[in-house]
């Protein structure tokens, strides 16, 4: 059976590559201590979208794995992020230089602001982000963990078009309002914590659908995101789970199954708490 959805999510900013792979490999849970082996396993399985961040301490391991894989640089969609304390122009440029040096690459496919910072106005942060694109150091730019109000402001203030918003999204968290805001601006949505750090695995609805389908709960949850045209970046250090998580492109959930999973949003579970970083509520 061939899945009806594409393997990538289009990017509308006019830059190349014109799409982001729908399933990526995240590297945040093992901050600073992740070996290159997990990333190399992911690349061997077929992942071509690797997500890291300056704050994670995993950029060097990601770069090592990319070189060991034997893949061409252009075959990998590489993402990193500038942390919220480095959003002033000089600090931003230094952080980006450090990321490129750690990764040992000349450019990024996507550079993102990791979290907004109320102490640093977007009127300063967004031009710094745009400069990275204009200088050829990032092919695409985006923001992570912005609510709808901040996203509107970021789009308005950025001299270059944004292409991606990354935020937490899984069946236990209602992100319909944020997703609508992302779509309004023609951006792609990338979901982190797509498996709610394992908290999905005891859910009876997901267990039932997984059993009926002969699939893992992780595969069901990831397929639910992909069928909304949302990219996802799961993480695992287990080679078999890394492979299993990527095996989601040969089946499709029914409308009824999608609705059953979507109804789980009433749980209201959020893994990443933005309160200490953002004021004015969260959408």
Please pick, among 56, 107, 169, 192, the residue that the annotation labels catalytic. Answer: 56
The pLDDT value given to residue 280: 41
Name the pLDDT band for 33 (thresholds 50, 70, 90).
low
Region 47-73 average pLDDT: 97
pLDDT digits (tens, 9 = 90+) for 130-167: 999 999 999 999 999 999 999 999 999 999 999 999 99
Q: Which of 164, 156, 81 is nearest to 126 (CA)?
A: 156
The pLDDT value given to residue 274: 62
Please give the model's pTM, rounded to 2 decimal places.
0.94
Name the pLDDT band for 35 (thresholds 50, 70, 90).
confident
pLDDT over 50 at 279, yes or no = no
For the chain, what is the mean pLDDT?
A: 93
Name the pLDDT band for 5 (thresholds 50, 70, 90).
low
Region 55-60 average pLDDT: 94
Domain boundaries, the chain: 20-267
* Residue 107 among the catalytic residues: no
pLDDT digits (tens, 9 = 90+) for 68-105: 999 999 999 999 999 999 999 999 999 999 999 999 99
Region 216-228 average pLDDT: 98
Tell which CATH classification among 3.30.1490.190, 3.50.50.60, 3.30.428.10, 3.20.20.100 matches the domain 20-267.
Answer: 3.20.20.100
Residues 6+ apart with CB under 8 A from 9: 19, 20, 21, 22, 188, 189, 229, 230, 231
pLDDT over 50 at 269, yes or no = yes
């Amino acid at each position: 059976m061939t899945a009806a959805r594409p393997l990538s999510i289009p990017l509308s900013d006019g830059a190349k590559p014109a799409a982001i792979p729908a399933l990526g490999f995240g590297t945040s849970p093992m901050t600073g201590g992740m070996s290159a082996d997990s990333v190399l396993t992911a690349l061997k399985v077929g992942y071509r979208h690797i997500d890291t961040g300056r704050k994670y301490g995993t950029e060097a391991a990601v770069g090592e794995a990319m070189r060991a894989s034997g893949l061409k640089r252009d075959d990998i969609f590489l993402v990193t992020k500038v942390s919220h304390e480095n959003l002033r122009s000089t600090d931003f440029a230094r952080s980006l230089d450090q990321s490129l040096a750690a990764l040992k690459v000349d450019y990024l496919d996507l550079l993102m602001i990791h979290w907004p910072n109320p102490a640093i106005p977007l009127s300063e942060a967004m031009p710094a982000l745009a400069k990275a694109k204009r200088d050829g150091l990032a092919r695409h730019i985006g923001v992570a963990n912005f609510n709808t109000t901040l996203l509107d402001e970021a789009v308005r203030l950025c001299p270059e078009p944004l292409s991606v918003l990354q935020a937490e999204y899984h069946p236990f968290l209602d992100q319909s309002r944020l997703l609508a805001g992302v779509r309004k601006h023609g951006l792609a949505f990338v979901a982190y914590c797509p498996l709610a750090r394992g908290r999905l695995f005891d859910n009876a609805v997901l267990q039932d659908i997984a059993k009926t389908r002969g699939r893992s709960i992780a595969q069901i949850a990831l397929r639910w995101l992909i069928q909304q045209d949302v990219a996802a970046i799961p993480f695992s250090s287990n080679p078999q789970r890394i492979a299993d998580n990527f095996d989601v492109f040969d089946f499709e959930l029914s409308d009824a199954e999608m609705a059953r999973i979507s109804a789980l949003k009433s749980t209201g579970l959020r893994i990443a708490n933005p309160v200490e970083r953002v004021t004015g509520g969260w959408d």
